[in-house]
Amino acid sequence: MQRAYFITGTDTGVGKTLAASALLRGFTEQGLRTVGMKPVASGATEQSGERVWEDVLQLQAESSLDLPLALRNPYRFDEPVAPHIAAAKIGQRIDIAAIRQAYHRLQDQADIVIVEGAGGFHAPLNETQTMADLASQLDLPVILIVALRLGCINHALLTQQAIHAQGLEFAGWIANRIDPAMLVPDENIESLKQRLHAPLLGVLPYREHPAAQTALLHLHLEKL
């Protein structure tokens, strides 16, 4: 059976790529054909004289299929700013139809497609559409990455509300301990478990240099 998931987060920089990469690794280890998709990436770095996008590289490193970059990452921008702003600055418009076409070509070849959004669930893509519209048009179950820090309960509940408003399945959530100094993190997790109507797929421990292999040890893919 072919499956796919849309990865969103309570904000930007909350560990979406780490979680997506760990999910890819886990499904790959089950012998499935996997591919990670980053529809829109902002913020290029230079490696060996070439521009690269770190999130795209990480997803590809954990995918079992080596499919064309144009399908895995249809839109990429040099500046580390919101995608709709980056696109407008170079006279481009992000087109969900083009992303959807690329996604279906990936889906034709893979058992599992993990689609990682940019920013939060309502991060704009163009003048009228957001990541939520993309998830809706792809009709994918959503996995929410919750950054454990002050304010995370409100952010998580608002995102859950937005997922339901799109009529999408809330497939699960992953807690990521990004702030080692956070007070009462376990109590926050318990509050989230009481209020989020989806299974907790795992709690990622704080790591200065997190890796997909380590993160996978803390996930429960059987809950998906």
Q: pLDDT 10s per residue in the chain (224 long)?
A: 679 999 999 999 999 999 999 999 999 999 999 999 999 999 999 988 889 999 999 999 999 999 999 999 999 999 999 999 999 999 999 999 999 999 999 999 999 999 999 999 999 999 999 999 999 999 999 999 999 999 999 999 999 999 999 999 999 999 999 999 999 999 999 999 999 999 999 999 999 999 999 999 999 999 99
What letters, b where the CB count within 10 A reaches 16 and e where it falls short, cover 168-191? bbbbbbbbbbbeeeeeebeebbee
Looking up tokens 């995102």 gives 159
- The three-class DSSP label of residue 41 is strand
Are residues 43 and 127 in contact, defined by beta-carbon separation less than 8 angstroms?
no
Residue 214 is predicted with a pLDDT of: 96
Active site residue 38: yes
Residue 49 is predicted with a pLDDT of: 85
The domain ranges of the chain are 3-223
Topology of domain 3-223, CATH: Rossmann fold (3.40.50)
Residue 1 is predicted with a pLDDT of: 61
Angle, CA of 146, 149 and 155, to the nearest 5°: 50
Question: Six-digit token pair at 55?
Answer: 């999130």
DSSP 156: H
Question: Six-digit token pair at 186?
Answer: 């376990």
Residue 106 is predicted with a pLDDT of: 98
- Catalytic option among 38, 89, 193, 223: 38
User: What's the CA gap between 62 and 156, in Å, rounded?
Assistant: 27
